[in-house]
Each structure stands twice: as C-alpha cells, then as structure tokens.
Amino acid sequence: MTLSDIRRLLGEPQFNWDDPAPWEDLERELGVAFPSDFREIVDAYGSVQINGQLYLQHPAPHLLHSLSDNVRDDLELWREEDMAEFLPGPVGGGPGELIPVATAVTGEAVFLCVPEGPSSPWRVVVQEFDSPAWTLYEMTFGEWLLDYLKGRDVTLCVRNRAPDGPFWEFLP
C-alpha cells in the first residue's frame, strides 16, 4: 500500500527495476536483507533526487550514483571514531546497527535501523550532519518517506522545497 500512496504524491516511477542481483550482492556483503518497502520504492524510482533535497540511490552497478558504493563509503565514514558519537549506535548490518541509505542536500543522513530480532520492525534514524542531533522514527522507510512527501516533520524540511507538491528527477 505504501508504494501506491507514494506514487499518488510523487508521480509515476520510470525506473522499474526487476533484477534482484544487485540487492542480493549488497545484502550478502552486509549480512542483512533490506526491508521490502525500501527495496520496492528504490526499485520503482531508481537513483533520484526528491524535492531537490533527498537523494535515494539504487544498487544497480551501472549507475553513477549507486547505493552499493555509497553504503560502503558511508559505513567507512561513520565508523571513524570522531563520527560514531553522532549516532545512537554503531553502523553496519548487525542487529540494532544502522545502515546509511539516503542523504539530503541540507546535510542530513538517513539510516535504516536493523531490527534487534526477527519479530522487531525496521526503523529510521535521521542524523543532522551539522550537529550531534539525531532522531529515531518508529516507522518503516516507506512510512517515513510518505510523511516526508506530505510535508510532515521527519527532520528534513520539505515545505519550502516543493511548494507545488512533491517531485523527483533522475540523478545523472
């Protein structure tokens, strides 16, 4: 249901990826399977910038802006001792760890929080890069993105970036 709600707000996707291989490669490397709503949204839209602010990336290897490459780079960055203090927990693919999955031109980093156990839900953490502040959202990525598209406060401010409604464009 979330993808159809996102389509209504954001418009029809044009990427529509259906090969699971890039996801499987990244998931094998991280030791965790991404949540289905995140995969479904990114498979539909690909590597895009939403509202001129939020960057989402797909793991397809032929893309200049690849989720796989950025996750590797961002994990290295966030594992540095002076960066770790800015997050509520360690980065990585283990239970309770954070996987960096999106960024914003306004300086925020968006993480998926790996569930602690099989019945625990995925959650979203947004870190404000210019401060030590972070916010945990007790919702799935799809729910968080839907709230963002509706202009609700999910740490990223969208109202002044999309006055005529949500929009997206492919990343070069």
Nearest CA among 172, 143, 158, 147 for reference residue 51: 158
Nearest CA among 40, 53, 7 for reference residue 154: 53
pLDDT (tens digit per residue) in 9-60 = 999 999 999 999 999 999 999 999 999 999 999 999 999 999 999 999 999 9
Question: Is position 51 within any domain?
Answer: yes
Number of domains in the chain: 1
pTM over the 0.85 mark: yes
- Residue 96 CA to residue 117 CA, distance in Å, equals 9
Identify the pLDDT of residue 24: 98
Instruction: Please say if the pLDDT value at position 82 is more than 90.
Output: no
CA atoms within 13 A on the CB side of 142: 20
Q: Indicate the pLDDT class of residue 158, thresholds 50, 70 and 90.
A: low
Q: Residue 62: which CATH number?
A: 3.40.1580.10
Q: Which domain holds residue 61?
A: 2-152
Question: Is position 77 within any domain?
Answer: yes
Question: Is position 160 within any domain?
Answer: no
Identify the pLDDT of residue 58: 97
Question: Is position 169 within any domain?
Answer: no
